[in-house]
Amino acid sequence: MAKQKKLVEAITSMEDDFAQWYTDVVLKADLVDYTSVKGCMVIKPAGYAIWENIQQELDRRFKETGVENVYLPMFIPESLLQKEKDHVEGFAPEVAWVTHGGLEPLQERLCVRPTSETLFCDLYSREIHSHRDLPKVFNQWCSVVRWEKTTRPFLRSREFLWQEGHTAHATAEEAEARTEQMLHLYADFCEQVLAIPVIRGRKTDKEKFAGAEATYTIESLMHDGKALQSGTSHNFGDGFAKAFNIQYSDKDNTLKYVHQTSWGMTTRMIGAIIMVHGDNSGLKLPPRIAPTQVMIIPIRQDAEGVMENAEKLMDTLKASDVRVKIDSSDKTPGWKFSEQEMRGIPLRIELGPKDIEQGQAVIVRRDTREKMIVPFTEIPAKVTALLEDIQKDMYERALAHRNSHTYDATTYEEFKETINEKPGFVRAMWCGDQACEDKIKEDTAATSRCIPFQEEHLSDVCVCCGKPAKKMVYWGRAY
Amino acid sequence: MAKQKKLVEAITSMEDDFAQWYTDVVLKADLVDYTSVKGCMVIKPAGYAIWENIQQELDRRFKETGVENVYLPMFIPESLLQKEKDHVEGFAPEVAWVTHGGLEPLQERLCVRPTSETLFCDLYSREIHSHRDLPKVFNQWCSVVRWEKTTRPFLRSREFLWQEGHTAHATAEEAEARTEQMLHLYADFCEQVLAIPVIRGRKTDKEKFAGAEATYTIESLMHDGKALQSGTSHNFGDGFAKAFNIQYSDKDNTLKYVHQTSWGMTTRMIGAIIMVHGDNSGLKLPPRIAPTQVMIIPIRQDAEGVMENAEKLMDTLKASDVRVKIDSSDKTPGWKFSEQEMRGIPLRIELGPKDIEQGQAVIVRRDTREKMIVPFTEIPAKVTALLEDIQKDMYERALAHRNSHTYDATTYEEFKETINEKPGFVRAMWCGDQACEDKIKEDTAATSRCIPFQEEHLSDVCVCCGKPAKKMVYWGRAY
């Protein structure tokens, strides 16, 4: 009963302490556990099942665009990491170093991959000879390590799971097209599957990936008004190709450098789902990503016919491709209701002897708590329709929240006041100088999130220095 | 054209040099590439797609038995690794050590997991309190690292991919049942999906896993007569539970130690597929695991109607759930034939203008090279039937090979002669003393592969020392 007690303690309310609310939810929804390995986490079955659904759906979308999966080593020799100057500067301070293999010191130390550009370049330099070998559109699912000082489950941990795509193309145009294609794929995935609206745009030079010519990003807004970088896609031009000498002989028999891209999405998105959709009863999972979409909860499960009807209902729903389970544990129905809510299962069906007598069941939505009494025969169609409605409504609510927490600022006073008093995105014009980004960060702790693909002209001058404006930028405090 | 030249060079014949034949096949079938990271490999798309199919099929079978997937850290603190004495002795000499995080030395060094018993025990000691928390039946898909001195693609590399299941149970009986259940699951998977017959049995104490009470194994026989350990399942009893203090309060309110198991299968199985089924034209993939089951090769693909008919045929086959591709590259048909053979694609369909005129196509089996002329309308049914036949025939051929390379020996002279002159399994009686295993290994380089579940009584005395025999053992030289 110790475990039961733990859950019924109310979780911290998100209005009181959003960070503590987040920690309570990840633990009480049974998504992660801490471990003896500092800065790392255990992803438990309920958390990993979400990641499996993310993987499956992304992987399907990748493969439709011609992506092929591969697996490269988890170690990078120090000399290989150092080949591209900007890249090593960006990553060397935060990698873990292997110095001994078995009982002997290594001749050259190896870092545990923080990202695998250098390994893919090493592979491509051996594999690419002719224009016939192009394009290469490879991806791998793996874990990477970055030695972070402060960590939080899913959002920032020393080891995390992700996919990293790495491509090589004959021309700059093809590389640019692939970079943008993958960004839009991520954006569509977030909006259609995770019900998380995103801003699509480009990072400033200050914020771009170490070694990239251009980094594109999708940015989402959490419930507390902080931004989360949710997926990035980088165009490397031929910088890595020159550092690693990746050349191909073109149709005209001249040697040319390839143009490369990379793009990634991580377990961080599970954190985004929690912080965009969750409430004070726990997690809320969008139906398309929920490992269990419907939990059937028998009332008086020892009474005649209750379990039989519950199982019959489960089979009917399974036949309609609904992911459904029965909670037949020996807990009380009330406890099972809170558990289903805490774990974010989109629908529950309550089924007791009286319901069965009347040929009906009670369906309750997790997102709105709306209760409906539905005759048995109508349940499969109703459940399917409700799951679609919930998916759509969750997206609309997240979009409305983002829109009502997006502000415009044209003067620096207004900018600072908004950042300090109204958590959310602030849209403001920028001169293009990194000095203004640095000053804004120092004054407000906000960073440039992106230059959106769809810019608006909010004023003629930079919100910080007053010089002529070049770009419109989304600013915000971020995870 | 450089690449085309490379493939048409004959690969080394397996009769001349089996090891070189193996290396030629893994490279020319495009399964792996070497890397700058010594002892590690790159698994390329053709190799990784086989692993994805292995994963998908095993994972489905696991989940049917109640397995839940999780993800644990890739690092193990040195103090945690040392908690179980036998375990650390077995693994410490072959682990990679991380000593620095970012620019600073770590307070305690971390090893990169060679296997994760200690981490799962650490988790279970926090998560298991009551009999209601049992059983735990967790699995993870990940890579592990063992600092091997000599390495070969798939068979032995410093990093490899695998799954590792780790379970905790209330009773010794439940743990034993799970250990055996998973061994049989592996065996069925090998036989039904990979078309590889296996011997199911138990390892001797000398050969069992570090820290296990009992290790069960499935052993398969490669084409060169060497054995390959193909999957293992370990019963730990309560040894780890005592070392990590994993106790639960039972229904009678007494504290008891849990009983644990672990079981794993690795990318090594891709090596097994190559060495069991391959021939001097390259790889031969069993249809159930082949990423591409049918390659349609257009003859004179510029001629009117050829590509249209090829595509129509592809769509028809896809509708019958056949994994099919068209090779529409600008290579010659002859070249495409050898490539399809090298890559082990079970069937090819040749389709040219004359075939189309006559409403038929040529189907060629990879395993037997049998050619058939089949009318268009009959192709889907024929292909489906042929894929089943090939699967069955490949298993039967592998079984016949194993049976004809399994010998019995009752005297030590006979034993040594057989091991030296007839590559294969030798079945012989054993007294149960490790001294005899050691002597046999020293004299013949053969090891005890397993004590089969189905023993036969071949003689009354140990083949080595002549003392009374206790067990029948499969012996062999092994990868």
Digit-coded pLDDT (tens) for A438-465: 999 999 999 999 999 999 999 999 999 9
CA separation, residue B3 to residues A133, A168, B7, B107 (Å): 9, 18, 7, 50
Q: Is the pLDDT of residue A293 over 70?
A: yes
Q: CB–CB of B93 and A102 under 8 A?
A: yes
d(CA B71, nearest CA chain A) in Å:
5
Q: Is the pLDDT of residue A8 over 70?
A: no
DSSP letter at A461 equals B
Residue A23 belongs to some domain of the structure: yes
Mean pLDDT, chain B, rounded, equals 96
Is 0.80 topped by the overall pTM?
A: yes
Same domain, A130 and A197: yes
Nearest to B97 among A2, A51, A98 (CB): A98
Residue B70 belongs to some domain of the structure: yes
Compute the average pLDDT of residues B384-412.
98
CA of A4: which chain B residue's CA is closest?
B132
Contacting residues of A for B132, CB less than 8 Å apart: 3
Question: Which residues make beta-bridge pairs with A343?
Answer: none
pLDDT, tens digit, 9 for 90 and up, residues A386-417: 999 999 999 999 999 999 999 999 999 999 99
d(CA B256, nearest CA chain A) in Å:
17
d(CA B132, nearest CA chain A) in Å:
9
* pLDDT recorded at residue A421: 96
Do B143 and B162 meet the contact criterion of CB atoms below 8 Å apart?
A: yes
Same domain, A381 and A416: no
Q: CB–CB of B70 and A41 under 8 A?
A: no
Domain boundary among B331, B358, B386: B386
**Which residue, A414, A349, A339, is CA-closest to A30?**
A339
B19 C-beta neighbours (distance < 10 Å), count: 11
Collect contacts of A172-180 with beta carbons under 8 A, ≥24 apart: A172/A237, A172/A238, A172/A259, A174/A135, A174/A259, A175/A235, A175/A236, A175/A237, A175/A259, A175/A260, A175/A261, A176/A235, A178/A135, A178/A137, A178/A261, A179/A214, A179/A216, A179/A233, A179/A234, A179/A235, A179/A261, A179/A263, A180/A216, A180/A233
pLDDT band per the 50, 70, 90 thresholds, residue A297: very high
CA of A141: which chain B residue's CA is closest?
B142
d(CA B296, nearest CA chain A) in Å:
19
pLDDT, tens digit, 9 for 90 and up, residues B196-241: 999 999 999 999 998 899 999 999 999 999 999 999 999 999 999 9
Give me the number of domains chain A comprises.
Answer: 3
Residue A206 belongs to some domain of the structure: yes
Same domain, A79 and A168: yes
| Residues of the domain holding A431 | 406-476
Nearest to B43 among A71, A133, A158 (CB): A71
Residue B223 belongs to some domain of the structure: yes
pLDDT, tens digit, 9 for 90 and up, residues B67-108: 999 999 999 999 999 998 888 888 888 999 999 998 899 999
Query: Structure tokens of B354?
Result: 């004359």
Domain boundary among A329, A351, A386: A386
Q: CB–CB of A112 and B110 under 8 A?
A: no
In a mutagenesis test of the A interface, which of B98, B144, B327 is the best target, namely the one with the most A β-carbons within 10 Å? Answer: B98
d(CA B365, nearest CA chain A) in Å:
26
Same domain, A357 and A432: no
Tell whether ipTM is more than 0.90: yes
In a mutagenesis test of the A interface, which of B41, B50, B70, B266 is the best target, namely the one with the most A β-carbons within 10 Å? Answer: B70
d(CA A146, nearest CA chain B) in Å:
8
Q: How far apart are CA A216 and CA A203, in angstroms?
A: 6
Query: Structure tokens of B124?
Result: 């279970």
Contacting residues of B for A48, CB less than 8 Å apart: 68-71
In a mutagenesis test of the B interface, which of A4, A40, A55, A72 is the best target, namely the one with the most B β-carbons within 10 Å? Answer: A72
d(CA B131, nearest CA chain A) in Å:
11
Contacting residues of A for B123, CB less than 8 Å apart: 33, 35, 42
* pLDDT recorded at residue A7: 56
CA of A38: which chain B residue's CA is closest?
B77
Residue in this structure with the two tokens 């929240």, named with its chain if needed: A401
Q: CB–CB of A80 and B36 under 8 A?
A: yes
Question: CATH number of the domain that B304 lies in?
Answer: 3.40.50.800
Q: CB–CB of A69 and B80 under 8 A?
A: no
Q: Is the pLDDT of residue A9 over 90?
A: no
In a mutagenesis test of the A interface, which of B7, B30, B36, B325 is the best target, namely the one with the most A β-carbons within 10 Å? Answer: B36
* pLDDT recorded at residue A240: 96
Same domain, B51 and B118: yes
- To 10 degrees, the CA torsion angle through B372, B377, B380, B386? -30
In a mutagenesis test of the B interface, which of A67, A74, A89, A144 is the best target, namely the one with the most B β-carbons within 10 Å? Answer: A74
Q: CB–CB of A129 and B3 under 8 A?
A: yes
Residue A282 belongs to some domain of the structure: no
Question: CATH number of the domain that B457 lies in?
Answer: 3.30.110.30
Q: CB–CB of A75 and B127 under 8 A?
A: no
pLDDT band per the 50, 70, 90 thresholds, residue A86: confident
Share of chain A above pLDDT 70, in %: 98
d(CA B41, nearest CA chain A) in Å:
7
pLDDT band per the 50, 70, 90 thresholds, residue B2: very low
Q: What angle is formed at CA B394 by the lines to CA B392 and CA B396, rounded to 5 degrees?
A: 70
Query: Structure tokens of A69?
Result: 């999966």
Q: CB–CB of A33 and B127 under 8 A?
A: yes
* pLDDT recorded at residue A350: 97
Nearest to B70 among A48, A70, A158 (CB): A48
Same domain, B95 and B137: yes
pLDDT, tens digit, 9 for 90 and up, residues B271-315: 999 999 999 999 999 999 999 999 999 999 999 999 999 999 999
**Which residue, B184, B147, B186, B385, is CA-closest to B269?**
B186
Q: CB–CB of B102 and A122 under 8 A?
A: no
Question: CATH number of the domain that A208 lies in?
Answer: 3.30.930.10
Q: CB–CB of B35 and A68 under 8 A?
A: no
CA of B95: which chain A residue's CA is closest?
A102
CA separation, residue B206 to residues B198, B199, B471 (Å): 21, 19, 14
Contacting residues of A for B76, CB less than 8 Å apart: 37
Residue A38 belongs to some domain of the structure: yes
Residue B288 belongs to some domain of the structure: no
A59 C-beta neighbours (distance < 10 Å), count: 16
Nearest to A123 among B35, B52, B76 (CB): B35
Q: Is the pLDDT of residue A369 over 70?
A: yes
B442, with CB counted inside 10 A (0-12, 13-18, 19+), is exposed
Contacting residues of B for A94, CB less than 8 Å apart: 102
Q: Is the pLDDT of residue B1 over 70?
A: no
In a mutagenesis test of the A interface, which of B71, B128, B140, B244 is the best target, namely the one with the most A β-carbons within 10 Å? Answer: B71
* pLDDT recorded at residue A69: 98
Same domain, A261 and A133: yes
- B2 CB contacts (<8 Å, ≥6 apart)? A129, A130
* pLDDT recorded at residue A374: 98
* pLDDT recorded at residue B4: 47
CA of A110: which chain B residue's CA is closest?
B37
Q: CB–CB of A132 and B95 under 8 A?
A: no
pLDDT band per the 50, 70, 90 thresholds, residue A3: very low
pLDDT, tens digit, 9 for 90 and up, residues A236-266: 999 999 999 999 999 999 999 999 999 999 9
Domain boundary among A246, A277, A308: A277
Same domain, A88 and A172: yes
Nearest to A129 among B2, B43, B76 (CB): B2
pLDDT, tens digit, 9 for 90 and up, residues A179-235: 999 999 999 999 999 999 999 999 999 999 988 999 999 999 999 999 999 999 999
Same domain, A119 and A268: yes
Q: CB–CB of B100 and A101 under 8 A?
A: no
d(CA A11, nearest CA chain B) in Å:
20
d(CA B385, nearest CA chain A) in Å:
28
Inter-chain CB pairs, A–B, below 8 Å: 158
Same domain, B79 and B128: yes
Q: CB–CB of A101 and B96 under 8 A?
A: yes
Share of chain B above pLDDT 70, in %: 98
* pLDDT recorded at residue A168: 98
Contacting residues of B for A161, CB less than 8 Å apart: 71
B429, with CB counted inside 10 A (0-12, 13-18, 19+), is buried
Compute the average pLDDT of residues B432-450.
97
Mean pLDDT, chain A, rounded, equals 96
Same domain, A202 and A321: no
pLDDT, tens digit, 9 for 90 and up, residues B114-136: 999 999 999 999 999 999 999 99
Same domain, B260 and B315: no
Residue in this structure with the two tokens 């745009």, named with its chain if needed: A201
pLDDT band per the 50, 70, 90 thresholds, residue B3: very low
d(CA B92, nearest CA chain A) in Å:
7
Q: CB–CB of B45 and A142 under 8 A?
A: no
Q: Is the pLDDT of residue A304 over 50?
A: yes
